[in-house]
Amino acid sequence: MLAYVNFVPIGTGEEMKELLAKAMKIIHKSELDYQLTSMGVIIEGDWNEIMTLAKKCHDEIMNFAERMSTTITVDDRKDMTERLKKNVLEIEYAIGGALKTGGLT
């Protein structure tokens, strides 16, 4: 299962990036594969793993925010695993080269 998760703290005086970094530390310490994007994070795992992780992140940010919007979009397939990496590799193969996927290299 892949899940796209977007955390948006609302009405905080603190920089949003600092609050999102708190969530990303939790995600990074988990054993789940993930890919951070500029708009959110894609996490691969089973339903319970992803929802438990998303709740931990949501709760951590809510320790510092009065209001929070968390959006989770799920793509669940029974016939495929390791889709997070495979999807990108398949497109790179189709175009004959590496794509920009963000982050520091």
Q: Give tens-digit pLDDT for 43-66.
A: 999 999 999 999 999 999 999 999
Tokens representing residue 67 in the block: 């209001």
| 101 within some domain | no
Chain centroid offset of residue 4 CA: 6
Q: Which domain, by its residues, includes 62? A: 2-95
Q: Are 84 and 2 in contact (CB under 8 A)?
A: yes
> What's the predicted TM-score (pTM) here?
0.85
pLDDT tens-place string over residues 6-56: 999 998 766 788 999 999 999 999 999 999 998 999 999 999 999 999 999
Number of domains in the chain: 1
| 73 within some domain | yes
Amino acid identity at 17: K
